[in-house]
Structures are given as C-alpha cells and as structure tokens.
Structure 1
Amino acid sequence: MSGTIELAGKVALVTGGARGIGAATVERLRAAGASVAVVDRDFPADPTGTERTLLLVGDVTDPAAMADCVVATIDRFGRIDIVIANAGITPPPATIRSIDRAVFDSVMAVNFGGVLNIVRAAADEIVASGGHILLVSSCAAFTPGMGGSAYMVSKAAVEQLGRALRIELAAVGASAGLAYFGVVDTDLARHTLDDDPIGRRIGGFLPWPLSRRLPSQRAAELLVHAVRTRRARLIAPAVWTPYFWFRGMLNPILERSLVRDRRVAQIIRDLEETHAR
C-alpha cells in the first residue's frame, strides 16, 4: 500500500452520488481521471455520464443490492480501488419521545446500515487493490443536540465503524478514513435548518463560526483530497477541529448549559406539541 493514491486510472464507487456532495465528488473524481460507479436510489431525468461513469440504481439499506452494485462495477471496470460511503438522510426535527419509530429506524438503516452494507460488499475488493474506503460521518457525531437524535446516533455509529475499519484494513494492506462535516450547504440542510420553523430555532444555537456553511463543491474537493492522501480524518470547516479533539471536556459543559436553557426547553415542548397534533 503506497502512501498516496494516484487517481488517474483508478476505479471509485460512490454511494448517494446523484446529488449534493456525492454528485460534486463524482465530478471531481472523473476530472482527476478516475472511473466512477455512482450508486443512488434514483437519478435526475437527464443524468450526465461518460464512458468512465456507471450509474447504478440501488438502495443502500439492501445488502444484496450493494453486493450487486459491487459486481456490476467489477464487470464494467475490472476492479475497485476507492469507496466513498456518502449516502445519508436527515429527518425532520423531533424528540426521542415523539419521533415515529419507523422514521428513526429508517435514518439508522440508511446512515449507518447503508455504510456497513457497502463496506461489507466492497471490502474484499479494496483489500485486493490496496485501496481506500472513506466513510462520511458528521460533526454531529460528537456534539450534543436536541431534536435530531436519530441523525446524531447514526453518525456516531459511522464514526466508530470507521475507526475500527481503519485499524483492520491497515493490517491487510488497505486503508480507511472518516469525513466529519459541519453544515454543508445542500438541499438536505436547507430543508432541515431553513424551511422548518423549529429547525431554524435549533440551528440558531450553533454559534459563528461553527454555523458557517461549507459549499458542496468545497466538501467534494476535500473528500477527493482525503482519498488521494489516505487521510485518517477530515474535519471541515476546520473550526470544528478543536471541538473534535476536546469533546470530552466541552460536551459536559455544553450539555449542562442546554439543560438549563429555557429557550431549549421551549423548543422541546413545541416539538412535542407539534407531533402530538
């Protein structure tokens, strides 16, 4: 396993690649000379493709479908050098008491189960090529929050999966890393934090500069660089880095503050009243 990956001539598989960060990442991989298998549940009516692009319709929550996507990629390109597990969803704000259990389970199934499914399906190919797997977690994995526990729990699970995977793959000549993003300016984030009235109130508790939104193109650029350099972790925007390293000290302080904040209590009551109706 070399220290860096020369992307020209390599084969990448990207889940959640039809839109947002995933689509921007696919564009950058292709521009760098890689062939890309793009996995998503559906694609735009007029998807753009090239001879180095394979569009694969598949649900990441289905292990068999992910195995089929891996087989199709190998049939087309002969190998897999890179996997970027990017597919994810964000539910509307809700408390643990009020969220529909099916919604909570669907978030876990996509955000964590989907990552595990593509890792399990592609890991042998990554070991064979001495390649790299990049799992997209979130800064939500290490920050306390309210009204979004399903998302935070799922991303924390991805973090632990990625940390274990990095150790295990290193022993067999491959590598893995994690990407932690704050708020990326995508339709998903805007729907949750801008369009939802209570989501706007929750988002207001994130102070500047932590609330600064990362353009999806910049997120894609960072993801591709992390793959090229086999980064153990990518944290962006960089202002989140101290929070990552000092979370053990900061989180108890923040939790105590949120517990005592009357504005937070009102948001929780409003959320539960909304779901009760």
Structure 2
Amino acid sequence: MSFDLRLAGQRALVTGGTKGVGAAVVNGLRAAGVHVVATARSLPAHPVEGVRYLASDLSTAEGVAAVAQSVLQHEGGVDILVNVLGGSSAPGGGFAALDDGEWAKELNQNLMPAVRLDRALLPAMLARGSGVVVHVSSIQRLLPLPESTIAYAAAKAALSTYSKALSKEVTPKGIRVLSVAPGWIETEAAVALAERLAQQAGTDYEGGKRIIMQALGGIPLGRPAKPEEVADLITFLTSPRAGSISGAEYLIDGGTVPTV
C-alpha cells in the first residue's frame, strides 16, 4: 500500500520554523511537496531550499499582523497552519518570582501568537471550507514544574483548551483543529541545558540528560524525543490521511505522563 500523504501543492505556514521542532516540521512538509512559509525572529543562516522565510516577532500583535498580511498577499492564504512557536525565559524561584511582566511574556509567547494568527488566517480557510490548524502545546500543561515553568505550563494549558474550543466551532465548517503535546525533546536548547547541568554536576552529557529525565519523573522510553519524530506526527496529522481527526490532542512524550 502506498503511503503518499497527499500533501503535494498545499500551502503551509509554520511558526518558530528555523530551530528545533519548527525546523523539523518545515523539512517534513517540504519533503511531502508542501509550499512552506516559515517565521522566526531572525532569518536562518542556512535556509531550506524552496521555503519562504519571514522575520517577525510573533509575541507582538504587530508582528503577527505583518506575517498574516504577507501570507494573504503572496500565497492567498494557507491550507495548513502549524503554530510551533513557544518557550520560556522565566526565572526560577516558583510563583513568587513571576511578576505581571513575566506572566505577560509567557502568555504572549505561548498562547497569543496562535490566537492572533488563527484569527487572521482562518477566515480564508472558512471561505474555502477546508484547512488544518495544529497547535503545539506541552505535557507541562499536565505536569507543570513549579520551580520555573508555572506561567509557561499555564499558557500551554490555555492553548490546549483554546484549541479544543476552536475545533468545536470550525470543524463543522471544514477546518480540522488539533494539538500536539510533546514531552522533553532533544532540541538545540535542550542539548545546551543538559550540557550545562552536566558541567554543574561533574558528569557527561548522558548524565545531564538523566538529570532532566529524573526531574520529569522519568521517561519510560529512556530518552527524549527527536524533533523529527514530533515533526513526523505533525506532518501526518496535517495530511488527508488523518482526515477524520479533529479536536484531539496527541501526547508524544515517551510515556512520561503517567495517566491515560
């Protein structure tokens, strides 16, 4: 049986598309024949051939508006929207270390870019009666780490809830909406963190990885996910092969979350 994803010729926008999972999603969609526009704060040093990159700060309403205008003007809209952008720069120290400014930064990086882009680009999808939206959440919405990721986890929980509500509204109109919640992924940032922890503990990189896995309560699979593994799931979900899936959230965490 052929497993052609039937994505050739589709148009996609991928946020956070130059590093980690976002870059892997860009590569996966391009390999499937999709015309991809990718956003990031700055243009990549080694762009993927055939990808149009837009440098913009999507944590601001102005940055989102500029990207949406460019996509609508040059591509006529998109068939696939993958909101990967996210992350946290909040300080450690628990709830007391997070002032209103830190909370605003976490929400503006992890929730509002998706909300604003959906609002800008969904009308064209609705007019056609077809499209797919994927929001990248996090297992931290289920397993928050109180030392440093309270606001990040809360923002991702809001993104998952928003995604479910949006799916109920637009799925009857032909738009599939899904969310993907990764656990620990071995991205560039994760490698840097493991190396830093390893140096502090006087161990090697593998020892640094074990420190992170222990902090998460263990990963039964015994390793973090690769960005390409998360991207493969997302690429499949955007395809007609997943045409009856909407409103669901998929965990990809090596078994980290201990409940069904």
Count, aligned residues: 239
Task: Report how far residue 7 of structure 1 moved.
Answer: 1.1
Which residue of structure 2 lines up, in the alignment, with residue 207 of structure 1? 218
In 1, Cα distance between the equivalents of 2:64 and 2:219? 39
Which residue of structure 2 lines up, in the alignment, with residue 119 of structure 1? 118
User: In 2, are the aligned partners of 1:90 and 1:188 still within 8 Å (CA)?
Assistant: no
Which residue of structure 2 lines up, in the alignment, with residue 65 of structure 1? 63
Q: Does 1:189 align with 2:190?
A: yes
Give the 3-state SS of the residue equivalent to 1:177 in structure 2. Answer: strand
Identity %: 26
Which residue of structure 2 lines up, in the alignment, with residue 252 of structure 1? none
Which residue of structure 2 lines up, in the alignment, with residue 152 of structure 1? 153
Which residue of structure 1 lines up, in the alignment, with residue 168 of structure 2? 167
Gaps of 5+ in 1: 246-277
In 2, Cα distance between the equivalents of 1:103 and 1:49? 37
Gaps of 5+ in 2: 202-207
In 2, Cα distance between the equivalents of 1:121 and 1:172? 17
**Residues 227-265 of structure 1 deviation map (CA, whole Å, 9 limit, x = unaligned):** 11154322113525762x3xxxxxxxxxxxxxxxxxxxx
In 2, Cα distance between the equivalents of 1:99 and 1:203? 25
Q: Does 1:237 align with 2:248?
A: no
Give the 3-state SS of the residue equivalent to 1:150 in structure 2. Answer: helix
The 5 Å alignment of 1:68-83 reads 68-83=66-81
Which residue of structure 2 lines up, in the alignment, with residue 271 of structure 1? none
User: In 2, are the aligned partners of 1:82 and 1:126 still within 8 Å (CA)?
Assistant: no
Q: Does 1:218 align with 2:229?
A: yes
In 1, Cα distance between the equivalents of 2:144 and 2:159? 16
| Structure-2 change in CA distance of 1:102 and 1:75 (3 Å) | same
Which residue of structure 2 lines up, in the alignment, with residue 103 of structure 1? 102
In 2, Cα distance between the equivalents of 1:134 and 1:89? 17
Q: Taking structure 2 as the reference length, what is the TM-score of the superposition?
A: 0.82
Give the 3-state SS of the residue equivalent to 1:12 in structure 2. Answer: strand
Give the 3-state SS of the residue equivalent to 1:23 in structure 2. Answer: helix
Letter of the structure 2 residue corresponding to residue 233 of structure 1: E
Which residue of structure 1 lines up, in the alignment, with residue 205 of structure 2? none
More helix by share: 1
User: Greater shift after overlay, 33-42 or 98-107?
Assistant: 98-107
In 1, Cα distance between the equivalents of 2:178 and 2:42? 27
Which residue of structure 2 lines up, in the alignment, with residue 54 of structure 1? 52
Give the 3-state SS of the residue equivalent to 2:255 in structure 1. Answer: helix
Task: Report how far residue 169 of structure 1 moved.
Answer: 0.9
| Structure-2 change in CA distance of 1:125 and 1:191 (3 Å) | farther
User: In 2, are the aligned partners of 1:182 and 1:210 still within 8 Å (CA)?
Assistant: no
Task: Report how far residue 61 of structure 1 moved.
Answer: 1.8
In terms of Rg, which structure is larger?
1
